[in-house]
Structure 1
């Protein structure tokens, strides 16, 4: 059968899953070799594999800013998975800022922002 719903109805986001009891949200700033190497897309892939929500974007100063949210274990795993993702094609980067910030309870996905 054909689906005749309006395009806006077809692209509605799923409701947010309940946050785990140990949920946390981090604001991060990455510096170093983080632009032009697929860093945002790799971050998005890793975050989605871990069921994290949030966003990542390039900054004009050459850094990358991100906010990641999820269970404490998954947020912690994000960093080791990023290192693993770049093992074959090493890049040099550091986390310049890392701050716990308030949760965003209705967030449903991780996205690349522009």
Structure 2
């Protein structure tokens, strides 16, 4: 069985108004991940990624590119010790 991990990532740059949340949701679902994504008041996007370690790591790499219209400047990642109890992958704000 593959080890599950959880990471929270804050993506900065031109990431709002470019379908970043919809892209993240679709990409995360393709990877079989659980979690959420939302816009922040400062123009960044935060996402919670929960699932197989290789899938989470692949998604974190993908966030550095994002959808075509995005211009990602930085991705700050926090490791979560405990796995949050989430189902599905939703856009929460």
TM-score normalized by the length of structure 2: 0.86
Contact kept? 2:4, 2:51, Cα under 8 Å: yes
State which of 75, 79, 83 in structure 1 corresponds to 2:60. 79
- Distance between the aligned counterparts of 1:80 and 1:59, measured in 2? 21
TM-score (norm. length: structure 1): 0.71
Aligned equivalent of 1:103, options 80, 83, 90: 83
Q: Distance in 2 between matches of 1:81 and 1:92?
A: 13
Cα distance per residue 1:39-76 (max 9 Å; x no partner): 00000000000110000000111010111000111001
- The answer to which structure has the higher strand fraction is 2
CA RMSD of aligned residues (A): 1.7
Give ranges in structure 1 of 5+ residues lacking alignment: 1-19
How many residues align? The count is 90
In the alignment, structure 1 residue 69 sits paired with structure 2 residue 55: no
- Deviating beyond 4 angstroms after TM superposition, the runs of 4 or more aligned structure 1 residues are none
